[in-house]
Amino acid sequence: MKYYLGIDGGGSKTTAAVFDDKGCFVKKAIGGSINYYSVGIEKARSNMKSIIDALNVEIFESVFIGMSALNERADAETTERFSHGVINGKKITMDSDLFVALEAMCTDGECAVVISGTGSMAVLRNSDGSVRHAGGWGYILGDEGSGYVIGLEGIKAAIRAAEGGCSTALLNECLKHFGINDIYELIDLYYDKGVERKTTAAFAESVFALAETDFVAGSIIDSQAQQLATTAKALIKNPKCRIGLWGGIFQNNELFRQKFIEKTGFEEASLLPLSPEQGATLAAMKETESEITEEIINNIKESYQP
């Protein structure tokens, strides 16, 4: 039996799924980030190794890694540096996490994907196969409409409320989130002890929980949906282009998803038909020039639940 491994390496977590040569699901493992720009190369390799060990497959026919650290196909040296001694595969390919998301659209024509997770980004594949990106500048320069920015804006709103600004329930939620009694303790946490990006992004859950009852929280969600819509519309000019939405924010928050669709006016926007790890598996099969039949695609769809 031949085994194919598809990996979706997002900003906060990595999801890996193994399928056999008939497209039937075998095993899944979830672990920490493999974005070596965020966590460092050794931590990224360690996280990847933990996932590979959990899968317990001796050798893979083909492995395709979609990684948020990349914006194009990795060269042989980069791939070897990351995977050597970690993944045992006859063929290992690395590309951006958006590439595998496009593969998950299951179409050869024009399509696009917009991601809102810990970070955010949009990608468009034109009918001629060329690919263009927008967003994806990271938590310092961009990531509008992402969990990180929504969480950070919620924290900033809590700080302003503590200083006498617009009242919001986000203040109490912020204190609880960080386990502190005084908002000024955030200074020590952020500038001395260091707060992980995922901790800031996790506060987005509190913003969403209050969005329909708290004016400030609702305004943050509306503003961030608008900013991500602006990024997407700068890239995607055809309102009838098929668009897949993915990432923890889009997947878990219908409110944000609907606001984004309304603000873009996109007619064909919905959650991806396949998960990015399923798309990565299809990409892994294509790298070996395997014949990918409708039966295989249906098996990949039906045998696996993201």
Listed by start position, the domains of the chain span 3-106+274-302, 108-272
Separation of first and last alpha carbons in the chain: 23
Residues 6+ apart with CB under 8 A from 51: 7, 14, 16, 29, 30, 31
Beta bridge pairs of residue 20: 3
Q: pTM above 0.85?
A: no
Architecture of domain 108-272 in this structure = 2-Layer Sandwich (3.30)
* pLDDT of the chain, 306 residues: tens digit per residue: 899 999 999 777 899 999 999 999 999 999 999 999 888 999 999 999 999 999 999 999 999 999 988 888 999 999 999 999 999 999 999 998 888 999 999 887 899 999 998 889 899 999 888 888 899 888 899 899 999 999 999 999 999 999 999 999 999 999 999 999 999 999 999 999 889 888 999 999 999 999 999 999 999 999 999 999 999 999 999 888 899 999 889 999 999 999 999 999 887 899 999 999 999 999 999 999 878 889 999 999 999 988
Q: What are phi and psi of 67, to 5 degrees?
A: -130, 135
Which CATH number is 3-106+274-302 given? 3.30.420.40
CA dist., res. 8 & res. 16, Å (int): 6
Q: Where are the beta strands (DSSP E) in the chain?
A: 3-9, 13-20, 25-32, 62-67, 92-96, 111-116, 120-125, 131-135, 242-246, 269-271
> What does the DSSP assignment read for 12-76?
SEEEEEEEETTS-EEEEEEEE---HHHH-HHHHHHHHHHHHHHHT-S-BSEEEEEETT-SSPPPH
